[in-house]
Chains A and B, each alone.
Chain A
Amino acid sequence: MKLNIEGLLVYFPYDYIYPEQYSYMLELKRTLDAKGHGVLEMPSGTGKTISLLSLIVAYQRAFPLDVTKLIYCSRTVPEIEKVVEELRKLMEFYAKETGEVNNFLALALSSRKNLCIHPEVSALRFGKEVDGKCHSLTASYIRAQRHSNPDQPVCRFYEEFDSVGRQVPLPAGIYNLDDLKDFGRRKGWCPYYLARYSILHANIVVYSYHYLLDPKIADLVSKELAKKSVVVFDEAHNIDNVCIDSMSVNITRRTLDRCQNNVDTLQHTIQRIKDTDAAKLREEYRRLVEGLKEANVARETDVYLANPVLPDEILQEAVPGSIRTAEHFLGFLRRFLEYLKSRLRVQHVVQESAPQFLKDIFEKVCIDRKPLRFCAERLQSLLRTLEIADIADFSAVTLISNFATLVSTYSLGFTIIIEPFDDRTPTIANPVLHFSCMDPSIAIKPVFQRFQSVVITSGTLSPLDIYPKILDFRPVTMASFTMTLARTCLCPLIVGRGNDQVALSSKFETREDFAVIRNYGNLLLEMSAIVPDGIVAFFTSYVYMENIVASWYEQGILENIQRNKLIFIETPDAAETSMALEKYQEACENGRGAILLSVARGKVSEGIDFVHHFGRAVIMFGVPYVYTQSRILKARLEYLRDQFQIRENDFLTFDAMRHAAQCVGRAIRGKTDYGLMIFADKRYARADKRGKLPRWIQEHINDGSLNLTVDETVQLSKHFLRQMAQPFRQEDQLGLSLLTLEQLQSEEMLKRITQIAHQA
């Protein structure tokens, strides 16, 4: 259907539209009009992706000069593929409606591992191996060596792409990863480099967060994207953690040992090159003396280890004299390494700031701040000069040099924590140096500064105002949309007490309490008797889950549950978990259904959807707070309080509630779906917790569903399930939560739509 969104003609590839989609597009258009940033929350399963795509594509067509490019960032490869499929549908609709062949280019970009078509390289299992192998075949000096030595293996796909691929742009169309690979195979071009080259002139790019947020990668891939782009972060509820992870470094004793080996290898290589080809080192030296910017010389395949963000004016400066020659630089690395080793030999926890660290390092091993800052840059240059093909081996020394650069560049927003052992195993020495970023805005700042519109969207972003605070930006629109429903298909219940009136809670004091554990068991047992098909239960941590399940086993509860349903358990091991998931789904398809016991913040809670019968009920045992004794978390909380005036408790609750909302949101993936959401902890009934749930869940919590006992819950659930079991047809939805074009244009509907968006 064709829509008119405040004067903009939008092609929407479906015959029906949800009212909230219309409202979402309205808000989005306002954001684009204002050339500002936006935070939009819309429940999952209401067609966020297609609304986003159809509006922005329409906007691009209407104002080709204002918005030149859409950069769509998603988290995982399957999600990226889903976006491309939606886009394909949209473009087919365009072609059908307008009849013209449009010259739209959209493509997905992923790592070499997902895009490589070289028969040997693509067979490797790990991403790092693929990257290293690829580099050893395509680096410019390897290719240069081939001129003198034709036996030198190179990648024929890259060679082919390099010789002809750049002259003709990629033909217009929609390319997902497989399409790119097919295209590459047909032409004999490397799909990875083709994609990386093509994103410069593509209209839509779909890729992972890291290509924009991780400074080490962003500099390579996304440096030349135009300012007039719209950036969309989908599923962005964890964006602050992604930012922080991309700037943090953890160094263990093993890293240092591997680094020591790296340095030794470097030393040997330098010695060898000095004997055979001293001119090369002299050339590098000359270049460093002149202060030539490395990037000007480097070819696209070489820039494999970019340095972390450095202010440009520093990059323009010449490398300091003390690390100019290769031997001196090695000596410098050695001293730095030995210093780190001596720091890791602590017996107690040390926490210090970057300036303190710098001062100490100067006193102990006479290392100044300036050479440290250039460490990453210098190492990169050295590795290139030594023509080391297999760079994957040098990850340890790269990590150390990145750390050196970061610690000397940023004085605020970072902290160094050295822990001699893991908190859980205080007897085993396992020293770790955490260089942890506490300010997510550092990593994301360039994105906000560079692009005219950045849209952060997800199903669970409540409370909306905290994201602008911790990411330090000013949005022009902030809105939360509810789900319009023809029938109330979600039923959030807060269970506060057991049948014996014992308060249910996962708080620390009652964690070991048998009464609580027994009542949790009873809850699950009762639910397993009445809920058809699948139930997903979330615990707050693996340890807690283990304790409870062991205790249920002793009390015989587990046995009773197993009379009703099969039980599967998520473990920290990825392979085991995917096996459990597979079998769980099989069990849901057959017989009486199954129960999946999993952990909030785990793999299941983040990426797996339980549509329809795979998840008829979600039970959240306890409030999923983070491990609050972690020193990194404590430092971060303190920083948030000092810099952003966010109180510790507010942040902790916010974090716990967004994960709880993520967990329970797994069950409802559309309007025809239905599911119970059971919050089994009396603390959820408090206003401060409840108020932080997304609005589309909050709306359905009324006073009657607070602080229930287990048998009240069972009664309510039975009633709800019986209602939901009635046949539900599309006609029931039409006009209420599903609209045709005529219905959309009616006066009354437009009025109702304005109420959907809740401005924060």
Chain B
Amino acid sequence: MDDQGCPRCKTTKYRNPSLKLMVNVCGHTLCENCVEMLFVRGAGNCVQCNTPLRKNNFRVQLFEDPTVDKEVEIRKKVMKIYNKRECDFQSLREYNDYLEQVEDIVYNLTNNVDVENTKLRMEQYQRENKDVIQRNKAKLTREQEELEELLLLEQQSNEQRRLEVLQEEQRQLQAKRKSKQALLDELEQSKLPATLLLAQHKVRAAQLETEIEQQKQNVKPTSLFSTGIQMNHTVSLQPLPRIEEALYLYKPLHVETYGPPVPELEQLGRYGYLNHVRGSLPQDTAGGYTSALACYRAIQDAFSGLFPPKF
């Protein structure tokens, strides 16, 4: 850390602890004084790589490695364009491929590999996906949303705890003040000897202490609606994750009966099977019962298992 310094004036952090290093888009460092001096006119060339730079693009260097600063800068720019979310893709595989592509672009731009082509590619992408980019601008990724939610919960519980502690303290203070006042009143008015009153007071004070101990954790949370939903809750606007599954296909049941084929339900009357079956009473039909059904079951039963099973 201490050996970091400005490449131009050779000041180091060790010699000047208040040294402020700046970095521009090319990823080369200069100290604040040198920037002021070299870029008085607002623009100029980088001392090390001769890239034309503007003064207002200088940022305070956050990281020890200036290339990381540069990369983060580039990455933020790229992310503004390449802002598709996981739900914009059919499968995870495609999303991962996309992520890798983004990573490639950032890598190229940072390490000055094939910059021109990469920039062209970016522009093309931007043109093609204009509306998606616009749409996703305000959206957070699912993970970020989760994080936000967690943070919110944490904040709430902290706040709640703080309030509880505060209330508790006040209640205790009040109770103590009251008991003290009561003692004074008693001393003033009662005819009992003072030592006795004091002893009584001591007992009461001890009781109060234990009561206070017990009363802890009796405050109900107030950050819930009566339905149990959190107040100030951010509702996720994202579509549910797509679940890829094969659709269910109905296949009619086929039962091996080991017997002669059973006539269909509709044909029973035609074949005369129903002639000797008791007709259904009006009460029975209320539940959907027909005499044909009972007859059908009985025939199924009778016909099954007549042949030896084939193996």
User: In the bound complex, do residue B79 and residue A366 qualify as a contact, i.e. CB atoms below 8 Å apart?
Assistant: yes
User: In the bound complex, do residue B217 and residue A645 qualify as a contact, i.e. CB atoms below 8 Å apart?
Assistant: yes
User: In the bound complex, do residue B64 and residue A362 qualify as a contact, i.e. CB atoms below 8 Å apart?
Assistant: no
Instruction: Please classify the interface of chain A as helix (H, G, I), strand (E, B), loop, or mixed, using the class held by over half of its residues.
Output: helix
User: In the bound complex, do residue A321 and residue B96 qualify as a contact, i.e. CB atoms below 8 Å apart?
Assistant: yes
B93 at the interface (CB under 8 A from A): yes
Question: 1/0 per position for B104-124, CB-CB distance to A under 8 A?
Answer: 101100100000000000000
Nearest neighbor of B217 in chain A, beta-carbon distance: A645
A318 at the interface (CB under 8 A from B): yes
User: In the bound complex, do residue A369 and residue B147 qualify as a contact, i.e. CB atoms below 8 Å apart?
Assistant: yes
Q: Pick from B93, B141, B147, B157 the residue with the most CB of A within 10 Å.
A: B147
A556 at the interface (CB under 8 A from B): no
How many angstroms between the C-alpha atoms of A156 and B183 in the bound complex?
Answer: 88
User: In the bound complex, do residue B63 and residue A342 qualify as a contact, i.e. CB atoms below 8 Å apart?
Assistant: yes
A380 at the interface (CB under 8 A from B): no
Question: 1/0 per position for A356-394, CB-CB distance to B under 8 A?
Answer: 101100101110111000000000000000000000000
Q: Do A364 and B96 form a contact, CB below 8 Å, given A356-B151, A359-B151, A369-B147?
A: no
User: In the bound complex, do residue B99 and residue A321 qualify as a contact, i.e. CB atoms below 8 Å apart?
Assistant: yes
CB-CB contacts below 8 Å: A316-340 with B: 317-325, 327-328, 331, 334-335, 338-339
The interface residues of chain A lying within 8 Å CB-to-CB of B92 are 317-318
The interface residues of chain A lying within 8 Å CB-to-CB of B144 are 359, 362
The interface residues of chain A lying within 8 Å CB-to-CB of B71 are 331, 335
User: In the bound complex, do residue A322 and residue B103 qualify as a contact, i.e. CB atoms below 8 Å apart?
Assistant: yes
A345 at the interface (CB under 8 A from B): yes
Q: How large is the interface on A (under 10, 10 to 19, 20 to 34, 35 or more residues)?
A: 35 or more
How many angstroms between the C-alpha atoms of A322 and B105 in the bound complex?
Answer: 11
The interface residues of chain B lying within 8 Å CB-to-CB of A322 are 99-100, 102-103
The distance from the CB of B302 to the nearest CB of chain A, in whole angstroms, is: 47
How many angstroms between the C-alpha atoms of A339 and B1 in the bound complex?
Answer: 14
How many angstroms between the C-alpha atoms of A370 and B1 in the bound complex?
Answer: 30
How many angstroms between the C-alpha atoms of A359 and B151 in the bound complex?
Answer: 9
The interface residues of chain B lying within 8 Å CB-to-CB of A370 are 143
Contact of A368 among B72, B106, B141, B157 (CB under 8 A): B141
User: In the bound complex, do residue A364 and residue B217 qualify as a contact, i.e. CB atoms below 8 Å apart?
Assistant: no
User: In the bound complex, do residue B98 and residue A321 qualify as a contact, i.e. CB atoms below 8 Å apart?
Assistant: yes
A100 at the interface (CB under 8 A from B): no
User: In the bound complex, do residue B75 and residue A341 qualify as a contact, i.e. CB atoms below 8 Å apart?
Assistant: no
The interface residues of chain B lying within 8 Å CB-to-CB of A319 are 96
A289 at the interface (CB under 8 A from B): yes
How many angstroms between the C-alpha atoms of A362 and B95 in the bound complex?
Answer: 19
Q: Do A341 and B63 form a contact, CB below 8 Å, given A317-B92, A322-B100, A335-B72?
A: yes
Q: Do A320 and B93 form a contact, CB below 8 Å, given A331-B107, A366-B72?
A: no
User: In the bound complex, do residue B65 and residue A369 qualify as a contact, i.e. CB atoms below 8 Å apart?
Assistant: no
User: In the bound complex, do residue A334 and residue B76 qualify as a contact, i.e. CB atoms below 8 Å apart?
Assistant: no
A76 at the interface (CB under 8 A from B): no
The distance from the CB of A400 to the nearest CB of chain B, in whole angstroms, is: 15
A411 at the interface (CB under 8 A from B): yes
The interface residues of chain A lying within 8 Å CB-to-CB of B79 are 366
Contact of B65 among A323, A328, A334, A364 (CB under 8 A): A334
The distance from the CB of B149 to the nearest CB of chain A, in whole angstroms, is: 9
The distance from the CB of B304 to the nearest CB of chain A, in whole angstroms, is: 41
The distance from the CB of B62 to the nearest CB of chain A, in whole angstroms, is: 6
User: In the bound complex, do residue A365 and residue B72 qualify as a contact, i.e. CB atoms below 8 Å apart?
Assistant: yes
User: In the bound complex, do residue A321 and residue B103 qualify as a contact, i.e. CB atoms below 8 Å apart?
Assistant: yes
Nearest neighbor of A357 in chain B, beta-carbon distance: B147
A250 at the interface (CB under 8 A from B): no
How many angstroms between the C-alpha atoms of A411 and B93 in the bound complex?
Answer: 27
The interface residues of chain A lying within 8 Å CB-to-CB of B62 are 342, 364
Question: 1/0 per position for A336-358, CB-CB distance to B under 8 A?
Answer: 00110110010000000101101
How many angstroms between the C-alpha atoms of A342 and B63 in the bound complex?
Answer: 6
The interface residues of chain A lying within 8 Å CB-to-CB of B106 are 331
B150 at the interface (CB under 8 A from A): yes
B97 at the interface (CB under 8 A from A): yes
User: In the bound complex, do residue B143 and residue A369 qualify as a contact, i.e. CB atoms below 8 Å apart?
Assistant: yes
The distance from the CB of B86 to the nearest CB of chain A, in whole angstroms, is: 9
A554 at the interface (CB under 8 A from B): no
B161 at the interface (CB under 8 A from A): yes
Report A's interface with B, CB cutoff 8 A: 289, 317-325, 327-328, 331, 334-335, 338-339, 341-342, 345, 353, 355-356, 358-359, 362, 364-366, 368-370, 411, 642, 645
Report B's interface with A, CB cutoff 8 A: 1, 62-65, 68, 71-72, 75-76, 79, 92-93, 95-104, 106-107, 110, 141, 143-144, 147-148, 150-151, 154, 157, 161, 217
What 4 A-B pairs are tightest by C-beta distance, nearest first? A321-B99, A321-B96, A321-B100, A338-B63
* Given pairs A319-B96, A320-B96, A327-B107, 19 additional interface contacts (CB within 8 A): A289-B93, A317-B92, A321-B101, A323-B103, A324-B100, A325-B103, A335-B68, A335-B72, A338-B68, A341-B63, A342-B62, A342-B64, A353-B150, A355-B147, A364-B72, A369-B143, A642-B157, A642-B161, A645-B217
